[in-house]
A and B are shown apart, each in its own frame.
Chain A
Amino acid sequence: QKEVEQDPGPLSVPEGAIVSLNCTYSNSAFQYFMWYRQYSRKGPELLMYTYSSGNKEDGRFTAQVDKSSKYISLFIRDSQPSDSATYLCAMEQDKLVFGAGTILRVKS
């Protein structure tokens, strides 16, 4: 079993939809949780960074952490074609452990 599980998709939605991206993890020692966005042929770009359980909002993005269920989510409101990318969840132990990434396609 992988430490971090993430559905690879692809997830295809119409422009303006609310997108929900999710990861589950098995290691209860993880303390920090991040979401990165990666465009084709580019490096990952940090989107959200959270420490505690609960919600954190930044513009159209909301990150949610449920440590009791070992489940994290990223919500994207009013999705745009420019949001089309691979979204990677990542968690910290003594190093960052990444999920495999979910490919998101937003159709105009």
Chain B
Amino acid sequence: DAGVTQSPTHLIKTRGQQVTLRCSPISGHKSVSWYQQVLGQGPQFIFQYYEKEERGRGNFPDRFSARQFPNYSSELNVNALLLGDSALYLCASSFLDNYNSPLHFGNGTRLTVT
């Protein structure tokens, strides 16, 4: 079975631009979460979606937004990019929206903002 897939794998953007990252969950998984991992740190929670509804939001500015589609895939959008947004963006899926159902991560999109 395919795992969580993310696209693109790498991306270089300029300050002030906008970016859209995409995620396809494991087949049958209805929950998608997004995490930001800065070099040398653990992943930090950005959003969780379950059945197309936002179930949680981390401590990130409104420049960050996301949505989930009827097929459970998801997009993360970041507007007005800052240098500090450079990071590995991880998508994770789970069957349920609680932690009886552990997260499975994709390999991430590495975003570089110049």
Contacts and interface: CB of A to CB of B under 8 A. Distances in A.
A100 B40 contact: yes
Interface stretch (B14-22, B62-70, B98-106): B98-106
Contacts, number: 53
B110 to A, nearest CB: 8
B4 interface: yes
Contacts of B45: 95-97
Contacts of A49: 102
A43 B106 contact: yes
Contacts of A31: 99
Contacts of B100: 32
A98 B56 contact: no
A60 interface: no
Interface of A: 4, 6, 8, 31-32, 34, 36, 41-46, 49, 88, 90, 92, 94-101
6 contacts: A31-B99, A43-B90, A92-B99, A95-B33, A95-B48, A100-B40
Kindly list the 6 A-B residue pairs having the minimum CB-CB distance in the complex, ordered from nearest. Answer: A98-B42, A43-B105, A92-B99, A95-B45, A32-B99, A43-B107
